[in-house]
A and B are shown apart, each in its own frame.
Chain A
Amino acid sequence: MKIQSSFWLAIVASVILSACSTSVERLDAQQQIDLSGAWNDTDSQLVAREMIEDSLSRAWISKFVKSEGKDPAVIVGRVKNLSHEHINTNTFIANMERELINSGEVQFVASSANRQEIRDERADQDLNASEATRKEMGQEYGADFMMQGQINTIIDVDGSTQVRFYQVNLELISIKDNRKVWIGEKKIKKLVKNSKLRG
């Protein structure tokens, strides 16, 4: 009788413990998973890819190559988060940088934060590196265009149902004369229905 009750106790305990344990499943980074309906990595990658593809397919790039005889050098500036969510715009910027560099159609210049670190390194080399390996100041590649933008949202709520509308606007501005050579826009609309019941 005692053995039987201990057996049942062990069964119940293992069921309870298995319910409490953490499970981890490795996923493909490209796999689309939406949990809360908020802006996620899929949105970030999708928008970056589509917008950069659009920007590189427009006439400004061929006009620049024709007039200057070289590929344009681009830098990604600030993308302002004006949305309802705490969006890490750095990952979005990183996605855009990757798409731009991998396109092979533009030169890409490091961001201002990266540049400062490199300048510090050059200043250090100026003092400490041998003459043969030292890199000189004043040899930086100046960008021709800066890409800037913003993420906006409109949220419409009715009870447990929400329509989330995201609009990402990007602009490519000529650093030489402030001309806007490309304006891109990408919209995402999501219908989020939250359950009215929980466990």
Chain B
Amino acid sequence: MKPGRLIAKAMLALAGFLAVFPLLWTALNALKNNVDIITRVPRLMFSPTLANIGYILGRDSVLTGLYNSVIACGIAVLIGVALGLPAAYAVARYPNRFAGDIQFFVLSLRFLPPVAVAIPLMVIWLQVGLYDTLPALIVTYSLLTISVIMWLAIPAFQAVPKEIEEAAFVDGYGAYSVFWRIALPVAARSLVGAVAFSFVLVWNEFLIALMLSSSNAKTLPIVASELSQQGMNVPWGILNASVVLLSLPPLLFLGVLSGFLNSVFRQKKS
């Protein structure tokens, strides 16, 4: 083997190592007692403990945060599906002269700096008495989920072969049943990826949740960041355990999302 190739392989391996090692190390630290973490030489061998994870799962604030995150993100994603998918289908299959503008408008929502949305919304929710409640968070997150799902679903619907839909029309299906019974099932694989992506996006969201909640509606990222605000007095193991808990749900979608990426690029190729 040529030395250049060997170096290239080594660099790739190093990058792969860097991609996951910090996370694995965090997971390992979540199983350590404090004495095994606060060492000048990192320790690989130690007697594992479940105390950190037990502590995290036993805290009310963490459980409330988990509940809030699941409810707020879950409902926002459902709203995004209910409103975003039909709209995407209409843009993809019934081209009109506004189609380009609509797509640009949906994308431009992503340009808005989160602070610029969060500050006025905080004032508005305070005025209508919904500040620090889940409904306020859900409505705000829906803006994110609807626009992202719509943006990603338009190409997914465009990739459905037109002939199948035409055939269904000839068979006497109405426009709506073509959407329900043909387009949705055929595009399902890509659509699941789009929906999973929108879930990860709102699950990971931090700034808006930070500004729109003070005690009742805190989501998991906020709770986790607050644990660290108590300085380094909090045992590191507990902090690491909370990071692991926060990171698990998005990682569950790893398979779905990498499949989604593959299908997007396979379409391009053909």
**Do A and B form a real pair?**
no
